[in-house]
Amino acid sequence: MTVYLVGAGPGAADLMTLRAARLLQRADVVVFDRLVDPEVLMMARPGAERIDVGKRPGHSNSQALINALLVSLGLSGRCVVRLKGGDPFVFGRGGEEFEALDRAGVHCEVVPGVTSAFAAPAVAGVSVTHRGLSHGVTVVTGHAREGAAVDFRRLANPDVTLVVLMGVQRRASIVSELIEGGLDPATPVAVIERAYMEGQRVQRGLLRSLAELDVTAPAVLVIGRVAHLELSHLGSLTDFASALPS
């Protein structure tokens, strides 16, 4: 009895791993999240049961209920695929689900997926690290829960790219905290909505105007010197780098 904790990738079905696709074709039950693209679900075996446990505004399955469902399905002896957008272990609560299954004696196998933290910037032509622009990248959640919001003042480093997942609603406070922490208000930003899905949109601007952009979730925020990169359109990256705020 095994539950497969599978990363569906950032959106498009052809960005899934081969192992993920093969498991979908074997699955008796597919338990999936809201952001899993319908095209991905079409890859499941025709007779497979599909269970939507996606969290939506005003309607949310608690994590405890999802954990209990996975344990129950795992104990039933059927082939269960828990399909999660991106990578299960990058803000996907995959660790919590793994622990619940392990405590119940259900074997769990993790199949990594391409995380939107790196895939979404890439679709916009943004390399999250680039020599001369950024020597590191920090991936952080913008989601505030139970008073445990990230203190963005501590992340205000002009030499490191900041990638924020689930930060659309908090972007005004993110901007104010980063500027308070010393980040230049003219720092480039890029916002990638619905990467690799229908309705994909990329917006660019400066940190000081991020809160004013018309942004719809799901979206990934990229903050740092690399955010103005459009690699398919650039001539000299050296000239580009020298023109950015220091």
Please state the φ and ψ torsions of residue 118, each to the nearest 5 degrees.
Answer: -110, -30
**Contact yes or no for 220/192 (Cβ under 8 A):** yes
Contacts of 73 (CB under 8 A, 6+ apart): 3, 29, 31, 80
Of the candidates 14, 37, 52, 55, the residue annotated as catalytic is: 55
pTM for this entry: 0.88
For residue 184, the tally of other CB atoms under 10 A from its CB is 16
Whether 102 is a known active-site residue: answer no
Q: What string of pLDDT tens digits covers the 246 residues of the chain?
A: 799 999 999 989 999 999 999 999 999 999 999 889 899 999 999 999 999 998 665 556 789 999 999 999 999 999 999 999 999 999 989 999 999 999 999 999 999 999 999 999 999 999 999 999 999 999 999 986 655 678 999 999 999 999 999 999 999 999 999 999 999 999 999 999 999 998 999 999 999 999 999 999 999 999 999 998 887 544 334 444 444 544
Q: Quick one: tokens of 147? A: 């008073």
For residue 102, the tally of other CB atoms under 10 A from its CB is 11
* CATH numbers and ranges of domains, the chain: 2-111 (3.40.1010.10), 116-243 (3.30.950.10)
Whether 239 is a known active-site residue: answer no
User: Rounded to whole angstroms, how far apart are CA atoms 161 and 174?
Assistant: 14
Render 166-232 in DSSP notation, one character per residue.
Answer: S-STTHHHHHHHHHHTT--TT-EEEEEESTTSTT-EEEEEEGGGGGGS---SSEEEEESGGGG--TT
pLDDT for res 61: 72
Distances (CA, A) of 186 to 143, 179, 206, 230: 24, 10, 5, 18
Residue the block writes with tokens 């032509």: 125
Of the candidates 33, 37, 84, 87, the residue annotated as catalytic is: 33
**Contact yes or no for 14/41 (Cβ under 8 A):** no
Look up residue 220 and give its amino acid.
Answer: V
pLDDT for res 230: 83
pLDDT for res 35: 84
3-state SS assignment for residue 141: strand
